[in-house]
Each structure stands twice: as structure tokens, then as C-alpha cells.
């Protein structure tokens, strides 16, 4: 089989999708600017978002300079940096730099530079490290036996569990769920036997249904259990999701107003800047930015945004399947899991389909660390596509 020149190329379709999402983000933040808090920190966020997109584009350019296989060589280092940063936040170190925001110790605040959220970067670090572990395991144990599959599953579980524990302590429920979704998505393509995966999935699903049943049946007892274990925020999320009518001034305050805003947009929306709920919805520019889009442009505008995300996921799946290198495919799969879960969760919580978890909408919500992380992830995907090798007489 002779190798054909791969003619290294950029994925212009993926780049165009990201440009569309960036335009939607910046434009939405621009229309929201008059309605945001008069605190200087909340002013001109569309300009700050442009800055983060420029920084992200520079990060993509740097990533494109190296062969993606180099990431395997530094996967331990990246993972270690991520864990150390989470440990520092757990101990609130260094004083004055480790910062609490909305009750969560999840940020480093640098004077004159803004804040950095290590949990966002941990998503990409975990993807790279898990991909490395999966490739190394499959190279060492090419035959998949139940024993070896369970060993691989154990390694992946332990690697993911360490950052999950620290994020749960912050607390950062959204970050915990994203890391779990990334791990689950990568397990699906790891080669582990399906009967093992189905057994674990069934067990987790049964556990989730049991928790919901216990909460609805023994609400006071379950709430007290959460209170006793410093999980008050979980109680608020459950209350706002399952019984919003009883907690309109508590856990359901945000989601009720978000649904009112979305519903008021109807089919075509109220037009640019046509906000009535902007000053009533917390985090309108971050976690609830989809609500702002729906209120301005209605069902049609919201559908276009969802369609663009669908095209993004479709393109990522195409690249993951086209690439023949396992390490690259595993990385892209983890990135697919990260984006798919966050899009589904963010939009789902805006319409009360899912509990509120404080996750931003990728590429659209305002956020320095999150936007930079997403651009780094896209840089990895572009790197993979750029270096895909094609062969003569290759199977379709």
C-alpha cells in the first residue's frame, strides 16, 4: 500500500462554524450591554469577548505548529498541572489569589489580568491524558479480555475521579458533570466490551432513577441529608428543577424567568435589544445567554443556533471517524463529549428540561477561561485534521 501525499489542509468548514458562533456571541453580548449591571466589571463585555477570541486564535496558531502526537509526551505534565491547580484552590492557596465567586472556590484572581478558572482547562488536560492512557493500554494489551477491559476502565475511572472530587469540593456541579461526560464518551470508543459498558450504564441509570424517586417520596429526609453534607446547592438545583412552582423565589427563580423570556420571544422574537427580562435573570450574559437569543429572535433564531451546534458536532464526528490514528481519534471523541454535553445541558436547563448546573454555552457565553479552553480544543481538532494521512486503495 503506497502512501499518498496528505496535502496538509485546514478544515475551513469547522473554522467557518466557529466564526459564526463567535459573531453570535459578540453580537448578543453587545445587545445585552445596556442591561447588565453598572459595575465596571460587567461593562463592554463584548469587547472583552473579542479579546478572548483573539487570544484563543493565537492559541490555535501555536497548537498548529506542533504535531498532535507531541501531546502524548506532555500528557502527564498537563494533567499534573491541572490537579495541582485544583489542590491549590482546595486549600485556598495562595491567599488573595485563590478567589471565591458565588460560593465556589474555583478561580485564581491576578491583579490587572482578571480571573482564571482551572476547571475549564482541566477538561482538555483530562481528554489528552485519557487518550494517552487508552492508547498505551491497547498497545500493551492488544487482546481485549474482561480482565484487561476492567483494568482499563479502572484506570480511566481513577484518573477522572481525582479532578472530579476536587471540583465537587469547590463546589462545581457543572464541572463534575462535564468531566464525567467526557470520560463516559471516551469509554464508549475505548474498545471495552459492550456488556461491561451496558452493565455500568444500567447501574448508573437505576441509581439516578432511584435518587429521583427517593427525593420525590422522602423530600424532607433527602434534603436534610444534603444539608448535613454541605450540599445545599444540590438541594436548590433539585427544587428548582422538580418543583419550580414551590420555589419561585429560591432554586427556581432563575429558570422560571428564563422560561418566561424564552416564551415571550415566540416565533420571531422581539427584535434586536427587545429585552423585558434581562434585568431579572441572573447570569444573563453567561449561563443563560441562550435565553437572551430566544427572547430577541424567537424560535427561528434559537433554531439557527441549535443547527450551528449540530453542524459543529457533525463535523467533529466526521474528523474523529476519518482519522486513523487512535490517539487523535480518542482526543477528538473526548472533545465531542465535552461540547455535546455542555450544549445539551445549557439549553436543557434554560427550558427546565434539566437542572441548572451553571455551565456556559460553548463559544457563545461570556467567559475568558471557557472561551480560551474551547478554542484550544478546536485547535487540537484542526491539528488532527491538518495532519490526517490518506492512502491509496484505502477502504471507504
- Can you give the pLDDT of all 396 residues of the chain as single tens digits? 334 444 568 899 999 999 999 999 999 999 988 877 665 566 788 999 999 999 999 999 999 999 999 999 999 999 999 999 999 999 988 888 888 887 788 888 887 777 889 999 999 999 999 999 999 999 999 888 899 999 999 999 999 999 999 999 888 888 999 999 999 999 999 989 999 999 988 998 999 889 888 878 888 887 787 777 766 667 777 777 777 766 656 567 778 888 888 888 888 888 888 777 666 777 778 888 999 999 999 999 999 999 999 999 999 999 999 988 999 999 999 999 999 999 999 999 888 888 888 789 999 999 889 999 999 999 999 999 998 866 555 554
Structural domain containing residue 330: 65-75+111-390
Sheet containing 104-110: give its strands across. 98-101, 104-110, 114-116
Nearest CA to 133 among 162, 171, 113, 94? 162
106 assigned to some structural domain = no
CA 107 – CA 94 distance, rounded (Å): 11
| β-strand pairing of 114-116 with 104-110 | antiparallel
126 assigned to some structural domain = yes
pLDDT at 47: 92
User: CA separation (Å) from 333 to 60, 185, 343, 355, 373?
Assistant: 18, 7, 15, 25, 16
CB 316 within 8 A of CB 339: yes
pLDDT at 129: 97
pLDDT at 273: 80
pLDDT at 283: 76
50 assigned to some structural domain = no
CB 363 within 8 A of CB 21: yes
317 assigned to some structural domain = yes
C-alpha cell at 335: 472533545
pLDDT at 260: 84
CB 301 within 8 A of CB 292: no
Size of the chain, expressed as the number of residues it contains: 396
CA 157 – CA 319 distance, rounded (Å): 26
pLDDT at 143: 85
C-alpha cell at 221: 429526609
178 assigned to some structural domain = yes
Burial code of 58-81, b = ≥16 C-beta within 10 A, e = fewer? ebbeebbeeebeebbebbeebbee
CB 105 within 8 A of CB 358: no
CA 324 – CA 388 distance, rounded (Å): 8
CB 388 within 8 A of CB 294: no
55 assigned to some structural domain = no
C-alpha cell at 201: 450504564
Q: DSSP characters for 299-358?
A: HHHHHHHHHHHHHHHHHHHHHHHH---HHHHHHHHHHHHHHHHHHHHHHHHHTTSS----
Cβ atoms < 10 Å from Cβ of 143: 6
Q: What percentage of the chain's residues is helix, strand, coil (to nearest 5)?
A: 70, 5, 25
CA 370 – CA 289 distance, rounded (Å): 14
292 assigned to some structural domain = yes
12 assigned to some structural domain = no
Residue with cell 424564552: 262
CA 354 – CA 348 distance, rounded (Å): 5
Please give the tally of structural domains in the chain: 1
Amino acid at each position: 500500500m503506497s502512501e499518498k501525499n496528505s496535502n496538509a489542509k485546514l478544515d475551513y468548514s469547522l473554522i467557518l462554524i466557529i466564526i459564526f458562533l463567535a459573531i453570535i456571541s459578540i453580537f448578543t453580548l453587545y445587545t445585552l450591554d445596556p442591561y447588565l449591571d453598572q459595575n465596571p466589571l460587567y461593562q463592554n463585555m463584548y469587547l472583552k469577548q473579542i479579546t478572548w477570541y483573539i487570544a484563543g486564535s493565537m492559541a490555535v496558531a501555536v497548537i498548529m505548529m506542533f504535531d498532535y502526537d507531541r501531546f502524548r509526551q506532555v500528557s502527564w505534565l498537563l494533567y499534573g498541572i491541572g490537579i495541582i491547580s485544583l489542590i491549590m484552590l482546595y486549600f485556598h492557596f495562595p491567599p488573595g489569589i485563590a478567589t471565591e465567586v458565588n460560593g465556589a472556590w474555583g478561580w485564581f484572581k491576578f491583579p490587572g489580568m482578571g480571573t482564571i478558572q482551572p476547571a475549564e482547562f482541566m477538561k482538555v488536560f483530562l481528554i489528552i491524558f485519557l487518550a494517552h492512557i487508552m492508547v498505551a493500554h491497547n498497545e500493551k494489551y492488544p487482546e481485549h479480555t474482561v480482565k484487561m477491559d476492567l483494568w482499563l476502565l479502572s484506570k480511566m475511572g481513577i484518573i477522572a475521579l481525582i479532578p472530579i472530587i476536587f471540583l465537587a469540593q469547590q463546589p462545581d456541579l457543572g464541572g463534575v458533570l462535564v468531566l464525567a461526560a467526557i470520560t463516559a464518551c471516551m469509554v464508549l470508543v475505548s474498545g471495552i466490551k459492550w456488556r461491561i459498558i451496558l452493565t455500568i450504564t444500567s447501574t448508573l441509570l437505576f441509581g439516578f432513577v432511584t435518587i429521583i424517586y427517593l427525593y420525590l417520596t422522602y423530600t424532607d429526609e433527602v434534603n436534610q441529608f444534603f444539608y448535613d453534607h454541605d450540599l445545599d446547592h444540590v438541594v436548590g438545583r433539585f427544587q428548582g428543577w422538580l418543583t419550580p412552582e414551590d420555589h419561585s423565589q429560591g432554586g427556581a427563580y432563575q429558570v422560571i424567568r428564563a422560561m418566561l423570556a424564552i416564551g415571550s420571544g415566540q416565533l420571531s422574537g422581539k427584535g434586536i435589544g427587545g429585552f423585558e427580562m434581562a434585568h431579572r435573570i441572573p447570569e444573563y450574559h453567561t449561563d443563560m445567554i441562550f435565553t437572551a437569543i430566544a427572547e430577541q429572535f424567537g424560535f427561528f433564531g434559537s433554531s439557527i443556533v441549535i443547527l450551528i451546534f449540530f453542524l459543529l458536532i457533525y463535523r467533529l464526528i466526521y474528523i474523529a471517524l476519518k482519522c486513523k490514528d487512535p490517539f487523535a481519534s480518542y482526543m477528538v471523541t473526548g472533545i465531542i463529549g465535552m461540547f455535546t454535553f455542555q450544549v445539551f445541558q445549557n439549553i436543557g436547563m434554560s427550558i427546565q428540561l434539566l437542572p441548572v448546573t451553571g455551565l456556559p454555552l460553548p463559544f457563545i457565553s461570556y467567559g475568558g477561561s471557557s472561551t480560551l479552553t474551547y478554542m484550544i480544543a478546536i485547535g487540537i481538532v484542526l491539528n488532527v485534521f491538518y495532519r490526517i494521512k490518506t492512502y491509496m486503495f484505502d477502504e471507504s
